[in-house]
Amino acid sequence: MQRGKFVSVEGIEGVGKSTNIDVLVRCIEQAGHKVLTTREPGGTPFAEDIREILMNRADEPVPEIAELLLMFAARSFNVNNVIVPALEAGTWVVCDRFTDSSRAYQGGGRGLPMETIDRVADWVHGDTWPDLTILLDAPVEIGMDRAGKRSDPDRFEQERHDFFQRVRECYLRIAANEPERIVVIDTTRSLDEVRVDIAAIAQQLLSN
């Protein structure tokens, strides 16, 4: 049985993750592979409960370290109970966010040291890293403008411009450091142009 491939999709709010994940999944399915989509924080019943707390509890300040550890607690459930079993069964996995989100939001956004985050990542999921990460990128104003149209913002969506600016810059630094894993896609272009890029990236991975 050939192991499935693991793809994560990253980006700040409002960059069009859902639409582009749909495009990506269709490309992989058309090539004849079974695909499982999951998301973080979340992806299993236990991890979805952690997500609910992380996104919506607003009655008490959340220490940055608690936020980081809860993200990784949820990730541990998803990796052990969903992602690795699927990959081992030959299924491809497309994950809406993974550890690069913790690096960008808890590292870049909240200011936690990257070495700490990477140490926790190593502890929680060892070598289980995506084969490919698609970073959807757009200036913060554009992302916030699109995301701002959603009603009832969660705890992260309530953050301000400079927070997302730090998150975006951190994402771009991570991508520059790991060009063999991370592909950056400019989502300020038309949906069709972005779709063509996603399909080309999927084709490249499919032919590896």
Length in residues, the chain: 208
Q: Which of residues 138-157 bind ligand TMP (CB under 6 A)?
A: 156
Q: Is 195 in the site for ligand TMP (CB under 6 A)?
A: no
Among 21, 25, 86, 97, binds ligand TMP (CB under 6 A): 97
- Asked if 125 is part of the footprint of ligand TMP (rule: CB under 6 A), the reply reads no
Residue 1: CB minimum distance to ligand TMP, A:
29
> Do 198 and 185 contact (CB within 8 A), yes or no?
yes
By CB under 6 A, residue 133 contacts ligand TMP: no
Given a contact cutoff of 8 angstroms between Cβ atoms, the answer to whether 50 and 44 are in contact is no
Binding-site size for ligand TMP (CB under 6 A) equals 12
User: Residues 5, 39, 125, 168: which binds ligand TMP (CB under 6 A)?
Assistant: 39
Q: b/e map of 102-137 (b: 16 or more CB within 10 Å)?
A: bbbbbbbbbebeeeebeebbeebbeebebbbbbbbb
Asked whether the beta carbons of 8 and 181 are under 8 A apart, the reply is: no
Find, among 128, 208, 139, 134, the residue nearest to 175 by Cα: 134
Of 38-46, 137-145, 186-194, 197-205, the segment contacting ligand TMP by CB under 6 A is 38-46
Q: Is 170 in the site for ligand TMP (CB under 6 A)?
A: no
Residues engaged in binding ligand TMP (CB under 6 A) = 13, 39-41, 71, 96-97, 101-102, 105-106, 156
